[in-house]
C-alpha cells in the first residue's frame, strides 16, 4: 500500500504543538511552566480511573478544598472520605485513596515517591496511574496507557489485533514515542487528543495533528480500531432494600460490610446485592419484625459485572430497636450520610411512592 508508506512519522513535537493551542483547562492542571502538585495529580487520576472528566471535576474541587494536602486526607476518618465520594462509584477507590494517603504520610514523610516503581507499590495505584503521576507530576518519561491512549495508538499504527492481545504492541509503540522533554504534557496531550479528536465514534480526523501520519486514517479503518472482543451480557441479579421508618420519623440506616460491593458505605438495609434474591423471600431478610409492604415498581442499576433489579419493602411507625450494624437516622442525617447512587435511587423510589407522607410546607414570605 504505497499511500501508507508515504506517511510521515508521527512526532511528539506535532502533538505538543497542538496541545499548546488546544489543551483543556482542567482544575488539576497547572498553567504552563508551573510545577504540578503530586497530591492533586494523584487525586485526579484516581477519580478519573472510571469516571468522566465532567463528573470528576466537582468532586476534585470539593476534595481539595476540604483536604488540601495528602496529610489532611490521611488524617481524615475513612467514613468522611466514603461519604464525600458518594455518587462517584467504584468505592474501592475511596478506600484505597485513604490507605494510600496514610502510607504516603507514614512511610514516605508525606511526599509521594517519584518513580513509577515506587508509585506502583502504593494502594490503588496500577501501571497506568503510576506512569501518569510519574510523567505529569515528576517529569519522568513514562508511558501512561489508558483506554483513550490505546485507541489513539491502535489507530495511529493501524494495530488491528483485538484487545487485549494488542496491549503489548500498543504499550511498546507508546513508550517509543514518549519524549524526554515535556513527558507530562505529552501524556496529557494524548488524553486530550483521545477525548476530543480521536473519539470512539466519528473521530475528527481533519483536525488531528497526526492526520498525515495516521495509518488507520489512511487505510480508512480508524473508526473501527481498536478491535474489541464481544462483550458478554451482564447477568441480572435481584435484591431487596428495606425502608423502615420509626414512629418518631427516623429511618433505619445501615453500613455495608467493610469488604465487597459498596464496602463500608452508608446504605439502606438490603439483601446481599450480588446474590440473586427473589422478592417473595424478602421477609426472611427484613431487619426488624414489622408489617412490611412491597412498594410497586423496582429500581434498575448497572454495576460493572451485573445488572441489579432492586425491590423496595417499606414499613412505618415501628418502635423496634435498630439491629446490629444499623441505626435510626434523622432525615437530615440520611441526607448527609453519603449514600451510593443505587441507594439514592431507592430513597427516591420510596419518596415517589409513599402516599400520605407528611409534607412540611413552608409559608412563602414575599417581599413587597
- In the bound complex, what is the minimum distance in angstroms from residue 221's beta carbon to ligand ADE? 25
* Strand, helix or coil for residue 315: strand
Minimum distance, C-beta of residue 47 to ligand ADE, in the bound complex (Å): 9
* Binding status of residue 45 toward ligand ADE by CB under 6 A: yes
Closer by beta carbon to ligand ADE, 192 or else 217 = 192
Using the minimum distance from each CB to ligand ADE, give the nearer residue, 19 or 157: 19
Nearer to ligand ADE, 49 or 274 (CB): 49
**Long-range pairs, 107-116, Cβ under 8 A, ≥24:** 110/69, 110/70, 110/71, 110/74, 111/38, 112/38, 112/39, 112/42, 112/70, 112/137, 114/38, 114/138, 114/140, 115/140, 116/140, 116/142
Closest approach, Cβ 54 to ligand ADE, in A, equals: 11
- Binding ligand ADE (rule: CB under 6 A), the pick from 174, 188, 271, 326 is 188
Task: Based on the shown chain and the rule CB under 6 A, indicate whether residue 217 belongs to the binding site for ligand ADE.
Answer: no
Question: Is residue 191 close enough to count as binding ligand ADE by CB under 6 A?
Answer: yes
Q: Is residue 92 near ligand ADE by the rule CB under 6 A? A: no
Q: What would the grid cell of residue 124 be?
A: 490503588
Sign of CA dihedral 126, 132, 135, 141: positive
Least distance from ligand ADE to the Cβ atom of residue 144, Å: 8
- Asked whether 78 and 117 are in contact (CB, 8 A), the reply is no
Angle separating helix axes 12-22 and 183-196, nearest 10 degrees: 70
Active-site hit among 45, 116, 150, 217: 45
Assess contact for 312 and 346: CB atoms under 8 A: yes
Q: Which of residues 5-44 bind ligand ADE (CB under 6 A)?
A: 26, 44
331 is catalytic: no
β-bridge partners, 214: none
Count interface residues toward ligand ADE (CB under 6 A): 9
Among 7, 16, 53, 283, binds ligand ADE (CB under 6 A): 53
> Min. distance of Cβ 48 from ligand ADE in angstroms?
4
- Give residues 129-148 in contact with ligand ADE (rule: CB under 6 A): 132, 146
Terminal Cα-to-Cα distance of the chain (whole angstroms): 78
Report residue 70: phi and psi, to 5°. Answer: -65, -30
Residues marked active site are found at: 45
Residues that bind ligand ADE in the complex, under the rule CB under 6 A: 26, 44-45, 48, 53, 132, 146, 188, 191
Amino acid at each position: 500500500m504505497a499511500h501508507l508508506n508515504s506517511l510521515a512519522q508521527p512526532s511528539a513535537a506535532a502533538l505538543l504543538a497542538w496541545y499548546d493551542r488546544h489543551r483543556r483547562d482542567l482544575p488539576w492542571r497547572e498553567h504552563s511552566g508551573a510545577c504540578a502538585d503530586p497530591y492533586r495529580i494523584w487525586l485526579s487520576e484516581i477519580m478519573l480511573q472510571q469516571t468522566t472528566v465532567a463528573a470528576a471535576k466537582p468532586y476534585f474541587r470539593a476534595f481539595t478544598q476540604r483536604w488540601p494536602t495528602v496529610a489532611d486526607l490521611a488524617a481524615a476518618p475513612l467514613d468522611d472520605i466514603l461519604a464525600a465520594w458518594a455518587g462517584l462509584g467504584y468505592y474501592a477507590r475511596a478506600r484505597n485513596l485513604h490507605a494510600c494517603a496514610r502510607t504516603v504520610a507514614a512511610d514516605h514523610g508525606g511526599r509521594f515517591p517519584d518513580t513509577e516503581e515506587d508509585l506502583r507499590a502504593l494502594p490503588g495505584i496500577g501501571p497506568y496511574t503510576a506512569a501518569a503521576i510519574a510523567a505529569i507530576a515528576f517529569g519522568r518519561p513514562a508511558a501512561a496507557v489508558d483506554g483513550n491512549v490505546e485507541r489513539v495508538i491502535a489507530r495511529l499504527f493501524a494495530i488491528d489485533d483485538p484487545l487485549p492481545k494488542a496491549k503489548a504492541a500498543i504499550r511498546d509503540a507508546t513508550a517509543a514515542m514518549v519524549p524526554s522533554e515535556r513527558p507530562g504534557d505529552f501524556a496529557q496531550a494524548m488524553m486530550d487528543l483521545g477525548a476530543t479528536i480521536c473519539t470512539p465514534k466519528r473521530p475528527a480526523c481533519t483536525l488531528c495533528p497526526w492526520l498525515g501520519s495516521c495509518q488507520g486514517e489512511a487505510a480508512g479503518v480508524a473508526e473501527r480500531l481498536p478491535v474489541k472482543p464481544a462483550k458478554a451480557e451482564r447477568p441480572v441479579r435481584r435484591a431487596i432494600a428495606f425502608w423502615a421508618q420509626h414512629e418518631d420519623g427516623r429511618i433505619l440506616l445501615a453500613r455495608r460490610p467493610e469488604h465487597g460491593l459498596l464496602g463500608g458505605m452508608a446504605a439502606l438495609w438490603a439483601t446481599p446485592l450480588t446474590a440473586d434474591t427473589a422478592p417473595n423471600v424478602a421477609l426472611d431478610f427484613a431487619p426488624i419484625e414489622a408489617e412490611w409492604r412491597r412498594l410497586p415498581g423496582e429500581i434498575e442499576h448497572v454495576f460493572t459485572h451485573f445488572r441489579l433489579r432492586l425491590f423496595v419493602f417499606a414499613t412505618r411507625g415501628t418502635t423496634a430497636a435498630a439491629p446490629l450494624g444499623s441505626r435510626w437516622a434523622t432525615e437530615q442525617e440520611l441526607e448527609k450520610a453519603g449514600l451510593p447512587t443505587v441507594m439514592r435511587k431507592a430513597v427516591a423510589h420510596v419518596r415517589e411512592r409513599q402516599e400520605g407522607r407528611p409534607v412540611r410546607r413552608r409559608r412563602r414570605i414575599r417581599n413587597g
